[in-house]
Amino acid sequence: KELIEGLFLEMLSNPLLDTLEDSAVFNVNGGRIAFTTDSYVVDPIVFPGGDIGAMSVHGTINDLAMKGAWPLALSLGLILEEGLEMKVLERVLDSVARASKEAGVMVATGDTKVVPKGKGDKIFINTTGLGAIPGGIDIGVHRVSPGDVIISSGTIGDHGITILTQREGLKFAGDLKTDSQPLHRLVKGLIEELGEELHCLRDPTRGGVATVLVEVAERAGVPMDIFEERLPIREEVRATAELLGLDPLYLANEGKLLCWVPERHSDKALEVMRGYEEGKDAAVIGRVLQGDQGRVVLNTIIGGKRAIFALSGTPLPRIC
């Protein structure tokens, strides 16, 4: 956060960048386009349920979707380490091809660079996406309001705990795998049913649910309460995180979203989400309160309260 606000925004500030949303939005010939880019350096590059190739497609599609945009095209940039096995590259490219085809979006342009052995780590990927935003839709932090409920589209922490255990060679009981998946169809369903009542969408990737909640609360200038007993966490994730001394609230996700809607529309939002495989475990996890302090409080199972802060440091680097 200090790097972004103290250096990048200081030197590159402009109205589009300053919003710090998942995608920039600009007008083109009377319509609106969402534009986003993301780089992927995950280690390991292959993991249960996915790999760096599929994740690079899903992640950029999801960043577009958080502004309500339907993906139109992606770019694919590859940085390859000299000596990378051809079968590894073929595996990754096959995943990119399958993921983009399943999502219905084309890879329209790309670039490849090779760096000397030891100057990279197998493969890094950058994808940039363009998407079209439907008319009448305004999704963003500026619309988060007291009386909104906060909905998670599904279980949290799956991706982060999977990468950590794979990287460290840890073996635990249970089926740990990434949640990497595209969310644009789920978002389209929400838009069709809720329209302008869909206030804000965010995907809790690096830093997890906790960090996104704090960022939104601070930027919207409103307090939020979340409830521990309502958090959808798979038992395998909860148990593994507890053994490792980690909090699932701070673990990365690659196929989940947080949604802010007025409370009167919460049942409809849940109904829509649960009608999709991507949202079958959707749950209301919190609410936005009256006030002018951007803070987040967790109401614990035992009746206590705990202040939630954004993730600091890099306890789990190269998670995406």
DSSP 240-288: HHHHHT--GGGS--SS--EEEEEGGGHHHHHHHHHTSGGGTT-EEEEEE
pTM, to two decimals = 0.96
In this model, does residue 286 exceed pLDDT 90?
Answer: yes
Contacts of 76 (CB under 8 A, 6+ apart): 56, 96, 107, 109, 110, 111, 125, 126, 127
* pLDDT tens digits along 24-73: 999 998 899 999 999 999 999 999 999 999 999 999 999 999 999 999 99
Mean pLDDT, the chain, integer: 96
CA distance 88 to 161: 23
How many helices, marked H, and strands, marked E, lie in the chain?
A: 9, 14
In this model, does residue 313 exceed pLDDT 80?
Answer: no
User: What pLDDT sits at residue 190?
Assistant: 99
Amino acid at 239: A
User: What pLDDT sits at residue 173?
Assistant: 67
User: What pLDDT sits at residue 215?
Assistant: 96
3-state DSSP helix/strand/coil % of the chain, to nearest 5? 35, 25, 35
In this model, does residue 314 exceed pLDDT 80?
Answer: no
Question: How many residues make up the chain in this entry?
Answer: 320
**317: pLDDT confidence band, cut at 50, 70 and 90?**
confident
Q: What is the mean pLDDT of residues 74-89?
A: 98
Q: What is the mean pLDDT of residues 246-264?
A: 98
Contacts of 302 (CB under 8 A, 6+ apart): none
Domains and CATH numbers, the chain: 2-133 (3.30.1330.10), 141-308 (3.90.650.10)
User: What pLDDT sits at residue 315?
Assistant: 58
Q: Quick one: tokens of 66?
A: 């958080």
Q: What is the mean pLDDT of residues 286-294?
A: 96
* pLDDT tens digits along 91-149: 999 999 999 999 999 999 999 999 999 999 999 999 999 999 999 999 999 999 999 99
In this model, does residue 157 exceed pLDDT 70?
Answer: yes
